[in-house]
Amino acid sequence: DQQVKQNSPSLSVQEGRISILNCDYTNSMFDYFLWYKKYPAEGPTFLISISSIKDKNEDGRFTVFLNKSAKHLSLHIVPSQPGDSAVYFCAASHAGSGYALNFGKGTSLLVTP
Amino acid sequence: DAGVIQSPRHEVTEMGQEVTLRCKPISGHNSLFWYRQTMMRGLELLIYFNNNVPIDDSGMPEDRFSAKMPNASFSTLKIQPSEPRDSAVYFCASSFGQGAEKLFFGSGTQLSVL
């Protein structure tokens, strides 16, 4: 049962524009959310996170928004750069699971020049 | 730090053979996780250890899969006997503390079972 869902398998954006990646979750116990970025032939790397007590967290060009009532979060990348082309995984966890991460299936982002 | 080290990077084997995947976590990290990535299911947690003790193995597909962590610097994931449906990328990850707030992943082992 997929508790974290990324419904868009792929996204293409022009360089300099905003990329918006979406994620939905079903388990209301999740209280910590993360985004990971993955290049081919490499493991995922941590990008940004947000606690359920916040609704926004920003780190440079990357901002994560959390809407708890809708069980939805999104990652905004502004401005998008070709080096951002990768697969982005949304993940969620809660204390009751020992904070083991539940991942979505990923969204492949392509930023074109 | 060298990061999480996994071996081998690629493994091709025949159905029925035993497969052993290896992982060296980052020094000082006390939580270790094994994940499997497939197109159909994405990244699935198989098992995780805290202080070398298995905490949750509910993600292990079946009895053919087993994992051990004999010490803080080494873990194995074994599949015996292997089947074609086990073909996937297997990732090991480690973190500091009981949580998995920020996992550090290895580069993965691409397993192909023919």
Rounded mean pLDDT of chain B? 92
**Weakest-pLDDT range from A50-64, A94-108, B45-59:** A94-108
pLDDT at A104 over 90: yes
- Smallest Cα distance from A102 to chain B, Å: 7
- pLDDT at residue B101 in the model: 65
DSSP B32-74: EEEEEEETTTEEEEEEEEETTEEEE-TT--STTEEEEEEETTE
Interface contact A39, partner B, CB < 8 A: no
Spacing of C-alpha A38 from chain mean position? 11
Residue B92: per-residue pLDDT:
97
Q: Do B99 and A43 touch (CB under 8 A)?
A: no
- Looking at the predicted structure, is the pLDDT value of residue A102 above 70? yes
Compute the nearest-CA separation of B4 from chain A (Å).
10
Question: What average pLDDT does the structure give for chain A?
Answer: 93
Asked whether the predicted pLDDT for residue A65 surpasses 90, the reply is: yes
Give residue-wise pLDDT tens across range A5-51: 999 999 999 999 999 999 999 999 999 999 999 999 899 999 999 99
Q: At A95, is the pLDDT very low, low, confident or very high (cuts 50, 70, 90)?
A: confident
Residue A90 contacts B, CB cutoff 8 Å:
no
**B57-101 confidence digits (pLDDT tens):** 988 988 999 999 999 999 999 999 999 999 999 999 998 876 556
DSSP one-letter code for B98: S
Whether chain A has a CB inside 8 Å of the CB on B104: the answer is yes
Which pLDDT value is given to residue B96?
86
Query: At residue B53, does pLDDT exceed 60?
Result: yes
Residues of A in contact with B55 (CB under 8 A): 98
Q: Helices then strands (H, E): number in chain B?
A: 0, 11
Q: Is B56 on the interface with A (CB under 8 A)?
A: yes
What is the spatial distance between Cα B56 and Cα A42, in angstroms, rounded to a whole number?
Answer: 25
